[in-house]
Amino acid sequence: MKERVHLENSIKDYKNLEERLDDTIDIIVLGEEEGDEQVIADGEDEIDEILKLSQDLELQSLLNGEADTNDCYLEIHAGAGGTEAQDWAEMISRMYTRWSASRSYNVDLIEESAGEEAGIKSQTFKVSGLNAYGWLKTESGVHRLVRISPFDSSSRRHTSFASVWVYPVVDNEIDVNYDEKECRVDTYRSSGAGGQHVNKTDSAVRITHTPTGIVVQCQSERSQHQNRAKCWDMLRAKLYERELKNREESLKETEGLKSDIGWGSQIRSYVLQPYQLVKDLRTGFETSDTQSVLNGNIDEFMSAALAIKVKTIDQIKEER
């Protein structure tokens, strides 16, 4: 039913745009026949607006993956480098939170490990909204920052890294096979705000899937039972995302187009010193408006990466 509603809305948007274009063309023709320059100018402005909307619909059509319409989990981990890397991880978190807000997506914090002096060591949150996973899935990878560190008394330039991993939320209709006997469940005390009950009991839960080494943890709920249930959901989601990536890699291997699509590969560089530049290393797309990007304006980077990803897979399927 969810897929049907999504498809019906997509078709409706296309038909509405088509009707709007036909009406605008008729108005322009009428303006030309009557020699009304204002009507023609208004019609041309409308054509420009229709063009923008059609480009948006074209991008939406790229979100046709198996789980693209789903909500998603987003994990951020600071790389080596202590406080500087942890501050960069928090900047990344802020960027995605602001991007989510610009699309009216809901963001729920699942787990967070704060840095000793500033920033975060790790963080996991859930992004809820139509096509959340479809948009964010191309963000998995290592993000590199170059700047003058505010934590260096000598004002030297530092290079920091933070890794991002995005995986879809799966519902009960999707069958994910795993053996609970192969999983290790650990409990520990939550950190941060939450009251006496949360901080004085082992309410936080960590689950490790031994065969794959996948680790999930949750401390956002007040009870161990709730955190445990959310951890199992996150484990299913990660195993499902792993299966989707394995299928894609298998497809590329078969056609001799295998490339490193692992979440640990560097995908984007953010340079704040000695010049201003954000560049995606996969697509070549770049901008000098670094502050806009760090404030969540990353749609163009996502669109470029998504277009290349879809084009590559479609090309393989056509060649088959």
CA distance 14 to 58: 10
Whether cis (ω within 30° of 0) applies to the bond prior to 150 is no
Closest CA to 265 of 138, 123, 107: 138
Residue 262 scores a pLDDT above 80: no
Task: Indicate the pTM of the whole model.
Answer: 0.70
CATH of domain 72-170+257-319: 3.30.70.1660
Residue 210 scores a pLDDT above 90: no
Parse the chain into domains and list their residue ranges: 2-61, 72-170+257-319, 180-250
* Beta strands 266-271; 141-148: pairing state: parallel
* Tokens 């409308």 -> residue: 46
Q: What is the pLDDT of residue 166?
A: 92
Dihedral angle sign, alpha carbons of residues 150, 154, 155, 160? negative
Q: How confident is the model at residue 136 (pLDDT cuts 50, 70, 90)?
A: very high
pLDDT in tens, 41-99: 999 999 999 988 887 787 777 787 778 888 999 999 998 878 899 999 999 999 999 99
CA distance 56 to 115: 39
Closest CA to 305 of 250, 247, 259: 259
Q: Which tokens sit at 171?
A: 């519902």
Fold for the domain defined by 180-250: Double Stranded RNA Binding Domain (3.30.160)
